Amino acid sequence: MGAQSTIVFDRYGSTELGAFAQCHEEGPWHNPAPEIQFHEVVDPDTARRLPDGERGALAVTHLNRRGTVLIRFVVGDMVSIERGACPHCGRFGDRVVGPVVRTRDLVKVKGMLINPAALLEALQSLSDLDEFQVVVARSDPQDPLSMDELQVRIASSVDQREALAALVAERTQHVTRVRPRVVFASAREIYDPGSQTKARRFLDTR
């Protein structure tokens, strides 16, 4: 809008949490009233409290509230928490650290919660891929108890197919901590513009 030397602050919050504020751009979000509510990060499967700095599900307990009072209410976001003095403003107390990922957007594969959006973003940055698709399936489609399989289907015109497959597998494992099976296919097999209005980049066929 023509303004000079602008500073943009973001806030994080919900009905259950209220609003958390940043003390600097793109920084963590400070709990403005730690005497009113307590926050912790828990394992989304076991509800076990996780150490500060480790990512998990954010849970809130109201310490001083009227009306609806929540105890270890899981908000639905994956974050981590820092405590102690903030390196930017010096304030003590808990700070929510992003990236904030909605648990409803996560998919469990081989016991790991993966973020499809982060994986797709990582693969889209590979210029040698003409088309790609991520497929989560059973290793044996006829056996509902068989292990999950993470498959990445790619189309590319490069000559060094093995090197590209290794790069795709490495990038996928770095983002998801799950080793995928990389399969080459034609671009039209992955996305046919004549019959599909939009490419389906992520499929869960389980």
SS3 24: coil
- In the chain, ranges of CATH 2.30.38 domains: 11-105
Look at the block and give the residue holding tokens 């400070």.
30
CATH for 107-204, among 3.40.50.300, 3.20.20.70, 3.30.70.1060, 3.30.300.30? 3.30.300.30
Confirm if 47 and 72 have CB atoms less than 8 A apart.
Answer: yes
DSSP 30: E
The per-residue pLDDT of the chain, averaged, comes to 90
Confidence label for 185 from pLDDT (cuts 50, 70 and 90)? very high
Lowest mean pLDDT among 5-14, 85-94, 162-171, 182-191: 5-14
Look at the block and give the residue holding tokens 């059973």.
138
Please give the Cα distance from 127 to 184 (Å, whole number). Answer: 16
pTM as predicted: 0.58
Lowest mean pLDDT among 129-133, 163-167, 174-178: 174-178
- In the chain, ranges of CATH 3.30.300.30 domains: 107-204
What pLDDT score does 111 carry? 79
CATH of domain 11-105: 2.30.38
Question: What residues have CB less than 8 Å from 106, skipping those under 6 apart?
Answer: 78, 113, 114, 115, 116
134-138 average pLDDT score: 93
Please give the Cα distance from 127 to 105 (Å, whole number). Answer: 26
